[in-house]
Amino acid sequence: MSKSFTRRDFIKSTSALTAASTLPISMVELAFADSSQNFTFAHISDSHIQHIKGTKFVRNWDRGLIRAVAETNLLNPKPDFVIYGGDLAQLGSKPELDRGAEIMSALNYKTYYSMGEHDYYEDLGEYWSKLFGKHYYSFDHKGVHFVVLNSILTYDEWTYDRWPTGKQRMLEMAGIDNPNGSPFMVGEKQRNWLQKDLAKVNKSTPLVVISHSPLQKIWKGWNFWTEDAEEVQELLKPFKKTTVIYGHVHQIQYNQIGNISFHAVMATAWPWPYPATYAQAEQYLPKLTIPMNRADPFHERDATGWQFINMGNGNVDMHYTLNENASRTVAFNTKTGQPEDMGYQAENNRIPPQSHY
Ligand SMILES: [Fe+2]
Ligand SMILES: [Fe+2]
């Protein structure tokens, strides 16, 4: 691809290829002045594999993950690796985590896992660790520093003292609007680790932070929330190019707070509706235009999907593959310094925001 290939051309080519191709996905890599810096990775999240009994699992959730894995294997050019964004299981049981790991084992790429609350609260991540390793860690890839956080911790009193069994603790945290739940947090121990980890990184190095809950406060009522978000953001502040990619909310969201770009990812299991707070508390709103297409809410795969991510010059462009809807792209606009939905906010293609519902 020529070096004069522009971001706008890229978007056009992507949609043209999507329309013409018989493959479920198309991908074109951006070419920058120094194209050796460019790479892509894929992100799959929130599959909520649910055990019924014996060898029976909820078919719909299985199908969502199986399809995302199959489509990721077909990507061309191939992504450098895959991130799994958390909530692989529904109630954190061994059969669910084993089943999820089995489906994920069909992926042809190295995969980095992050922890969701549905994976954690049965046994505090013990079995998950046996399958996937550390709860939080960092790694470097082609000049980008990646940090994977466990952002779904909460107060010790809630975790250790309140519930008679792990199973009950899990059930209480699994309900999205359950008043017996507790706000998510990264916690002091992990923030201290993060501070030490980032101290070794040059401030001009692009930084990508993977979390399960949003590292910003959106709505506490549904735990679209991280209690110590400001403290974590403070640690990310000194870096010039910083992106947080999170799961949990099962919908497209994007936002810019100072130097930090925020992107949510789609779930393979089901979409969440938009919290009423989007209309009630404007100050918490990400810059949403058309939050999510729902062509057919009665279709089992409607408004679910997965995403691949282009890293060019340290900025993140998110490409959402929605199973029953047109693909969406939210790309970083270097002129405005914030992510924009290319279908709805891009220059010359701007439409007024929809009202929230
Ligand atoms: Fe989830
Ligand atoms: Fe979650």
**Average pLDDT, consecutive stretches of 10 residues, N- to C-terminus, the chain (357 residues):** 37 37 38 65 97 96 96 92 97 98 98 98 98 98 95 98 98 93 98 98 96 93 94 97 95 91 94 70 60 76 90 88 86 86 68 38
pLDDT at res. 282: 54
Q: Rounded to whole angstroms, how far apart are CA atoms 47 and 84?
A: 10
| Cα 178 to middle of ligand 1, angstroms | 15
Domains of the chain plus CATH, in order, are 38-341 (3.60.21.10)
- Measure 37 CA to ligand 1 centroid, in angstroms: 32
DSSP string, 126-191: HHHHHHH--SSEEEEETTEEEEE----B--HIIIIIS-SSHHHHHHHHHSTT-TT----B--HHHH
> What pLDDT does residue 351 have?
45
Q: Is residue 343 within 8 Å of residue 293, measured between CB atoms?
A: no
- Which residues lie across from 306 on neighbouring strands? 321
- The whole-angstrom separation of Cα 142 and Cα 146 is 10
Count of alpha carbons within 13 angstroms of residue 24, beta-carbon side: 18
Going from the C-alpha of 193 to that of each of 119, 152, 190, 221, the distances in angstroms are 22, 16, 5, 29
Q: If you measure from the C-alpha of residue 214 to the centroid of ligand 2, how many angstroms do you get, rounded to a whole number?
A: 10
Residues less than 5 Å from ion ligand 1, measured at CB: 46, 87
C-alpha of residue 3 to centroid of ligand 2, in Å: 40
- In this structure, the dihedral spanned by the alpha carbons of residues 239, 134, 69 and 210, taken in order and rounded to 10 degrees, is -20
Span from the CA of 212 to the centroid of ligand 2 (angstroms): 6
Ligand nearest to the CA of 184: 2
Q: What pLDDT shows up at residue 9?
A: 38
Return the amino acid letter for 316.
V
Distance (angstroms) between ligand 1 centre and the Cα of 86 equals 7
* Distance in Å, CA 295 to ligand 2 centroid: 24
Provide φ and ψ at 101, rounded to 5°. Answer: -65, -35
Question: Using an 8 Å Cβ cutoff, are 271 and 250 in contact?
Answer: yes
Ligand closest in space to the Cα of 120: 2
Instruction: Please give the Cα distance from 2 to 21 (Å, whole number).
Output: 22
Residue 307 CA, ligand 1 centroid: distance in Å: 15
User: Could you tell me the distance, in angstroms and rounded to a whole number, from the CA of residue 269 to the centre of ligand 1?
Assistant: 8
Phi and psi based region of residue 250 (left: phi greater than 0; alpha: psi -120 to 50; beta: remaining)? left
- Chain centre distance of CA 13: 25
Query: Please, what is the angle between helix 188-199 and helix 229-236, to 10°?
Result: 10
Write down how long the chain is: 357
What are 323's two structure tokens?
């199973």
C-alpha 270/C-alpha 19 separation (Å) is 25
Residue 184 alpha carbon to ligand 2 centre in Å = 10
User: Quick check: 50 and 79 in contact, CB under 8 A?
Assistant: no
The number of beta carbons lying within 10 Å of the beta carbon of residue 298 is 6
